[in-house]
A and B are shown apart, each in its own frame.
Chain A
Amino acid sequence: MSEHRPNTEGKYKWIGTRPERPDGADKVTGRARFGADFSLPGQLIGKVLRSPHAHAVIKSIDTSKALALNGVKAVITAQDFPDQPNLIVPTGEMQVNMRDITRNIMAREKALYEGHPVAAVAAVSEAIAKQALSLIKVDYEVLPHVIDVAEAMKPDAPILHDHLLTEGANPPASKPSNIAKRIEFKKGDAKAGFAQAQVVIEKDYTTQAVHQGYIEPHATLASAAEDGQIQVWSTTQGHFQVRGFCARLLGLETSQIRVTPTEIGGGFGGKTVVYLEPLAMRLSQKSGKPVKMTMAREDVFRASGPAPGGNVKVKIGAMRDGRIVAAECIVEMQAGAFPGSPVGPACMCSFACYDIDNVYIEGFDVVSNRPKVAAYRAPGAPISAWAVESTLDILAQELDMDPIDLRLKNAAKEGTKTAYGVTFNTIGMVETLEAIRDSEHYKSPVKPGYGRGVAAGFWFNIGADSSAASHVGEDGSVTVISGNPDIGGSRASLALMAAEELGVDYNKVRPIIADTASIGFNFVTGGSRVTFATGLAVVNSVRDMIRELKVRAAKIWKIDPEAVIWEGGMAKPAGNQVGTFEPLSLADLAAQAGRTGGPINGHAQLNVTGAGPGFGVHCVDLKVDEDTGCVHVGRYTAAQDVGTAIHPSYVEGQLQGGAVQGIGWALNEEYIYNAKGKLDNPGFLDYRMPVASDLPKIETILVEVPNPQHPYGVRGVGEVPIIPPIAAVGNAVARATGVRMVDLPMSPPRLSEALDAARPMKMAAE
């Protein structure tokens, strides 16, 4: 694996090394416990009755027969949850409305998509629970449905929500529609910019809904006690969010709910919302027994948030020398059954890689009879990037310019003002482009029959709220406590930063993830924030502990705490004038803690700002079987501005995983709906994610441009790598075949049809 690390060479002892992850042994031996591994004595099994219809009024639900079945202990419907106000609350990178979320976990007036929960039961066995579901009688009035975004935007489309007036419509909306929101971003004068341009490229693109595809289906166990306290185990990216949402949904105080996150078998943004947890909690309250619920894979596909599909129109105007003078992007995006697609970030990211004077961006958030979308790595950005980066490739071809040179000519730099208003601090877009330009891959000739594509991507990354604590044991070993489920090796990174800060061996530091009652609030694991923001909290908690350690050494030495320094894991006198004392190790100080003031701990809690944005540039060589439309990816390199790679293996892993998911999005993944509005491929056989044999080893180049606003220069790295792959693949297909694909996925039947359609034109041209 290639490494490019000019900034940290020799600077750190632990940061930048690759020790085993704290959770590694348990995961490879099968000891690690995931959501469905948790059980309690006497537990019931909860099952959900889901709507068979894409759109239907729920006229009545009769649960009496189910409740009468021997072994059934509780049945719930929407009536078991209080209605919620129209209140927006943040969940990672998305926003959710409490009024909608209570309707999403359990349909209220209408079922809005196939798989929408309408009732749930808890019974002594799975078989009885299933039988009980068949005894629930739901009287539906089936309504016309709408799946496609363009169809949903039409004035005569079936309306999902009678109260929905388009926010931001111009002129203001007077009638309900499926367009929940219209947004726009402007910089300079796009019209004037296009008038000045010597070349204008304009193209329309479409993408399909895709699922995060985490291997572990949603699972939870809830146990409500007689005193009103509830314990919950859940596979989630944010147990504090589970607590917060469920407290609202059930009308409880957050202190009544204690949520323990289990090990998580993938999340990618999809486990930042709640589905089963509030149902299991209510069923447990009603039955007085612990209730365990798990989703089948079909439920995951039908009813948990996919990432949206969308339609994107892009127009780019440039001068003959490659300078881009105007850009326009219009995004229409699926929100699913309730408002709240990531159209905002899609718009904001669209041209963020480039320094363009005149920009117009418009976005539409559109509801249709699909499951409500959830976050998926860099929500929205891959969709607009696919359109923008494809259009740039057409421009490069039109100008006969190297695609990297074209991007370098227009690259965003420190001081560049984005269309959404932010001015960049230190960023690494140029360095990342140069890393690909100078790579062995890019310099090597393209093999005969292959095409090479490149594309770039941008993501903000976030900070937000984090708490951490550090405890010294009586033997001098250290426990670092934080509250973010580890979805990408964050425990290893937190331990490395703590070890570096303390000057002790990495193996002396044990990082753990505490439940909601055992550590202060932590915002969800999302937005590529954990190693950055929770990392900062950990560093600060360790510094707090070091401050205390210095106080204890000063007490032992009977000198002023200011005269003690911490160095190499030891307290030392600040200089000879202070006196001569043998340095005291962590173990020495821990052993004497009882006599110097009690336990030695450090704490930190903060709202972290100053997240450094990340840029990625990917390069792919592939060939297309022109008879079948099958794509063979031959070589793939991902370069990214990663700040400081705390644990390079897990940074590389993020780049590789993002690239693979992006390749799947480009080539085969799609939600396929039938005429009745039902999902036709709710399983991994016909929802095709790439398998190992589909791919070459993903090569990575880590470009380290430290974030000046973090003590170790950390930037988020987990989301950027899913942004460039789709366009990189499309651009390579175009260069291999001469055919420009504008509709995703570029699956064999679709690509074969496009190649066949282009063949007579190509022959005529020759």
Chain B
Amino acid sequence: MSEIQYQSAKTVKEAVKYMQAAKGKGYILAGGTDLLVQMKSGARSPGVIVDVKKIPEMVTVTEKNGSFTIGAATPAAVLGENKKLRKTWPGVIEACNLIGSTQVQGRASAGGNLCNASPAADSVPALVAAGCIVNVAGPTGKRKIPVEEFCTGPGKTSLKTGEIVVSLTLPKRPKNSSDAYLRLIPRTEMDIAVVGVGVSLTMKGDTVADARVGLGAVAPTVLLVKDAAKALIGSKLDDAALDAAAAACSAACNPINDKRGTIKYRTKIAGVLLKRSAMIARDRINGIEHRGHRPV
């Protein structure tokens, strides 16, 4: 029988030290909503578990000059209760608040969701659309990674041995900006996205000044779909622009046929959700409230 060591770090530096010493057998414990399940199923057998919940900067949200930095281990429920964050990034927050279930929300974190590196992670398409920067600390110092470059494949990240994700930074928002995230699941909760789409928009009058589109569950990693953004920018979100952006999303898809959906279905739904997400983001800019993530 193998032994598991548990280390509770008080500082980022300490956590990095433990991870480095673990020589690739270390796993970060934030909410544990992925790690503990994987350990029980035998999918992962850590040598060392490094608990980061006692590191203040990893469990708090700070705002500086309009830019938010989210501690990587901050529970999703805490993010959902941060009114200013929710108002500025409603799409990111609704995506974070879709991880797991209400009970899981008290533990699950955006940083954990990202590091689990599932292509179907709910928070990641919204973070990609938001232009999020991942703040990483490691034995050789700190570095910043654009979120869309963070994951390299299912279950794989660009973190090097000893490196940990400290926080996620969302850029300052121009005026008239908002975002939205929609996912398709066969049920209404307790499920994993068949397709997930995050859209972030900045409007100037009734014209799209800037846009970013994140697309999940249709390729080995979450995609930044530049062609979809291109189709939206400069448009008034008319049918032709939405059709073109939806087509770009469908074209970007490289999904698999599996128990959760067919290639054909996923490709189609990517376009459907792009259109709906874009409309919700625009509505939010126009002060129209949207609640509920199920596209019915």
Contacts and interface: CB of A to CB of B under 8 A. Distances in A.
Contacts of A623: 296
A628 B188 contact: no
A697 to B, nearest CB: 15
Nearest to B2: A127
Nearest to A127: B1
B187 A628 contact: no
A474 B295 CA distance: 64
B294 A630 contact: yes
Nearest to A667: B186
Which 8 A-B pairs give the minimum distances between C-beta atoms?
Answer: A749-B265, A693-B188, A632-B296, A627-B272, A625-B296, A672-B259, A680-B259, A694-B188
Contacts of A688: 186-187, 191
B261 interface: yes
Contacts of A694: 187-188
A748 B296 contact: no
Contacts of B194: 748-749
B161 to A, nearest CB: 28
Interface in A587-627: 623, 625, 627
B189 A693 contact: yes
B272 A748 contact: no
A132 to B, nearest CB: 13
Interface in B258-295: 258-262, 264-265, 268-269, 272, 294-295
A256 interface: no
A753 B262 CA distance: 10
Q: How large is the interface on B (under 10, 10 to 19, 20 to 34, 35 or more residues)?
A: 20 to 34
Interface string B171-202: 00000000000001011111110100000000
Interface-centre pick from B187, B269, B294 (highest chain A CB count, 10 A): B187
Contacts of A681: 259
A243 B150 CA distance: 58
A691 B186 contact: no
A628 B185 CA distance: 10
Contacts of B295: 625, 627-628, 630
A690 B264 CA distance: 25
Contact of B261 (A127, A668, A749): A749
A622 to B, nearest CB: 10
6 contacts: A625-B295, A630-B294, A632-B296, A668-B187, A694-B188, A752-B269
A630 B272 contact: no
A489 to B, nearest CB: 26
A749 B267 CA distance: 11
Contacts of B188: 691, 693-694
Question: Chain B: interface secondary structure?
Answer: loop
Contact of A691 (B190, B259, B260, B262): B190
A685 B295 CA distance: 20
* Interface class of chain A by DSSP: loop
A384 interface: no
B296 A749 contact: no
Contacts of A749: 194, 261-262, 265
Interface in A734-766: 747-749, 752-753, 756
Nearest to A125: B1
Nearest to A632: B296
Contact of A630 (B262, B264, B296): B296
Interface of A: 127, 623, 625, 627-628, 630, 632, 667-668, 672, 680-681, 685-686, 688, 690-691, 693-694, 747-749, 752-753, 756
Contact of B192 (A668, A685, A752, A756): A685
A760 to B, nearest CB: 15
B65 to A, nearest CB: 39
Contact of B260 (A628, A667, A686, A756): A686
Nearest to B189: A693
A625 B185 CA distance: 13
Contacts of A686: 259-260
A220 B262 CA distance: 40
A674 to B, nearest CB: 9
Contacts of A748: 184, 186, 194, 265
Contacts of B259: 672, 680-681, 686
A667 B187 CA distance: 9
B187 A691 contact: yes
Given A667-B186, A691-B188, A752-B265, 5 more contacts: A627-B272, A628-B295, A630-B184, A688-B187, A694-B188
A501 B59 CA distance: 63
A625 B261 CA distance: 17
Interface in B51-66: none
B186 A747 contact: yes
Nearest to A627: B272
A753 B265 CA distance: 8
Contacts of A627: 269, 272, 295
A676 to B, nearest CB: 14
A622 B295 CA distance: 15
Contacts of A680: 258-259
A444 to B, nearest CB: 21
Nearest to A131: B1
Contacts of A756: 268
Nearest to A624: B296
Given A630-B294, A686-B259, A691 B265 contact: no
Nearest to A756: B268
Nearest to B273: A628
Nearest to B269: A628
A47 to B, nearest CB: 13
Interface string B134-147: 00000000000000
Contacts of B189: 691, 693
Contacts of B1: 127
A691 B261 CA distance: 19
Nearest to A695: B188
A680 B192 CA distance: 15
Contacts of B264: 753
Contacts of B296: 623, 625, 628, 630, 632
A672 B262 CA distance: 13
Contacts of A747: 186
A630 B261 CA distance: 13
Contacts of B191: 685, 688
B168 to A, nearest CB: 26
A756 B262 CA distance: 14
B216 to A, nearest CB: 16
A681 B296 CA distance: 26
B184 A628 contact: yes
A748 B192 CA distance: 14
Contacts of B272: 627-628
A481 B296 CA distance: 51
A127 B40 CA distance: 12
A189 B260 CA distance: 47
A234 B269 CA distance: 46
Interface string B86-99: 00000000000000
Contacts of B190: 685, 691
Nearest to B266: A749
Nearest to A690: B187
Contacts of B269: 627-628, 752
A171 to B, nearest CB: 42
Contacts of A752: 265, 268-269
B101 to A, nearest CB: 9
A515 B241 CA distance: 71
A314 to B, nearest CB: 27
A749 B264 CA distance: 9
A280 to B, nearest CB: 23
Nearest to A691: B190
B252 to A, nearest CB: 19
A630 B265 contact: no
A691 B294 CA distance: 14
Nearest to A668: B186
Contacts of B294: 630, 632
Nearest to B262: A749
A688 B185 CA distance: 10
A149 to B, nearest CB: 20
Nearest to B271: A627
